[in-house]
Every structure is written in structure tokens, then in C-alpha cells.
Structure 1
Amino acid sequence: MMKDTITFRYRMSDRDVFYGGGVVNGARSITLMEDAAKRLMAKTFGNTGRCVEVKKVRLYTPCFAGDYMEYIAGIRKQEGNKVLIEVRSFKIIEVPADPPYPSSIDVLEDPPLSTVVQFWYEY
């Protein structure tokens, strides 16, 4: 269980697409996850600190242009002036395969886990 957490949402756009078929590059998600970790550092310690290690990266479910992603960052462990922050991203809304309208979306009842990253930060 993570004690301090922050959450933010972001909608992937055509600017985020890297591969054919509207697939977003996993590095884009990791960049947003680092933003979440920095926000958590600022909230908890009053500064963004410095990332000294990326301990773990796991990519599970791809995201596409139009998907709404939710990023949840939490502190897993603290050792001296270092903290282990885990960030998880979930796909909470996606564009239907054959949308009846250009603005159509599907809210996912059970959002799939997309990416997990663990960062060690110093403050």
C-alpha cells in the first residue's frame, strides 16, 4: 500500500503517436509517469528532487491516440534521503473501434493496467 499518492489524467493525441495505427510510443507514457513522480516529490518534500535510477519498467497494454490515461504515483519506500516512487498508468477511456460519431468514447468499467515504472529519487 502506498502512503502518499497523486493522480492525474491525460488524453493521448495525434501528437503522441509514434507508430502506425495510432499507437503511442511507450516512452511518451514513461515521460508522463516521470511528471507524476515529480509532482509527488513536490507535494511531499517541497521540491522535485532528482531521479537517480529507473528501477523497473513494465509495458502491458498499449495506448492509442484518443485514449484517456490515468497516472497514479505513490511512495513505496524511503531510505535516508532517497524515495522509491512507483507510477502506474491505466487506460480509463478509449475510442471505439468503429465510432458512430467523431467524439465517441468508451468509458472502461475495469481499466486495464498499461505501464508500471519505479523511480528512485533523491531530495
Structure 2
Amino acid sequence: MSDRDVFYLGGVVNGARNITLMEDTAKRLMAREFGNTGHITKVEKVRLYEPCFAGDYLEYHARVNKVIGDKIVVEVRNYKYIDLPENPEFPSSIDVLPEPKLCTIVQFVFETYK
């Protein structure tokens, strides 16, 4: 996340920015697995566990949960691998987390194009 993603005081990134990136990840999975991106008809679940800040390094993981006819449920999770220390010794200091932190889970329901 960068400084341009900051929405709140303290460098907190707007949760909608994460969800937008999660949607992009889900569409890439749809294109790879099904040959088209389809369109999102529903967002079944949004869970926010850990806030994201400018300077955090995140990874997005998508998987197909269910396929029911022309409807496909895709779950996307994002994990924080690197964050900024509270009192950095240098401006470029980072903390690599020993275990990634789960930040957000979203489930999208796609309908494929015919």
C-alpha cells in the first residue's frame, strides 16, 4: 500500500481499496480458469480482521469455492507480510512478520458469460 491509498489519520488505508484489489484478483482467477471474467452478481461475505497501513506489503490469494451451474463463488484473502515499525530507526525500515497476518476475506459470486 502506498501513501496515495491513505484515507484516515495515522496512515490507515481505506478498506474499499483492499476490496477493489481483491476484486481484481478474483477476476484474474476467473479469466485464467474459465476463459472469461463474467460479472459479479453478489458479494456474500466481507470480513475485516487487520487494518492496513501505507507501507504494508500485502499478498492476495484467490480460490474457487463452488461452481453451481453458471454461478461461481470465489473467495479472496489478503495477508500482510511486511509492515512499518512504530519507531523506525531509518526512514526505509520495515518489519518482516514471522507469520503473515490475515487482513481481509471476501467472497464474490460471479455469473459467467455464455
Measured against the shorter chain, the TM-score band is over 0.9
Superposed counterparts of 1:39-118, under 5 Å: 39-118=28-107
1:20 counterpart residue number: 9
Structure 1 residue 36 displacement after superposition: 0.5
Calculate the TM-score normalised by the size of structure 1: 0.89
Q: Which amino acid aligns with 2:40?
A: C
Gaps spanning 5+ residues in structure 2: where? none
Alignment correspondent of 1:5: none
Give, in angstroms, the shift of residue 47 of structure 1: 1.2
- Aligned to 1:117, the other structure's residue is in SS state strand
Counterparts of 1:29 and 1:16 in 2: how far apart (Å)? 9
Flag as ranges the 4+ runs of structure 1 deviating above 3 A: none
Post-superposition shift, 1:23? 0.2
Aligned residues: 112
CA RMSD, Structure 1 to Structure 2 (Å): 0.6
User: CA separation in 1, counterparts of 2:92 and 2:110?
Assistant: 39
Q: Which runs of 5+ in 1 are unaligned?
A: 1-11
1:96 counterpart SS class: coil
Following superposition, the deviation at residue 101 of structure 1 comes to 1.3
Map Cα deviations across residues 39-65 of structure 1 (whole Å, 9 max, x no partner): 000110111110000000000000000
Q: How much has 1:105 moved relative to structure 2?
A: 0.9
Residues 2-49 of structure 1: per-residue CA shift (max 9 Å, x gap): xxxxxxxxxx00010000000001111000000000000011011111
Is 1:38 aligned to residue 31 of structure 2? no
Instruction: Give me the whole-angstrom Cα distance separating, in 2, the residues matched to 1:52 and 1:20.
Output: 33
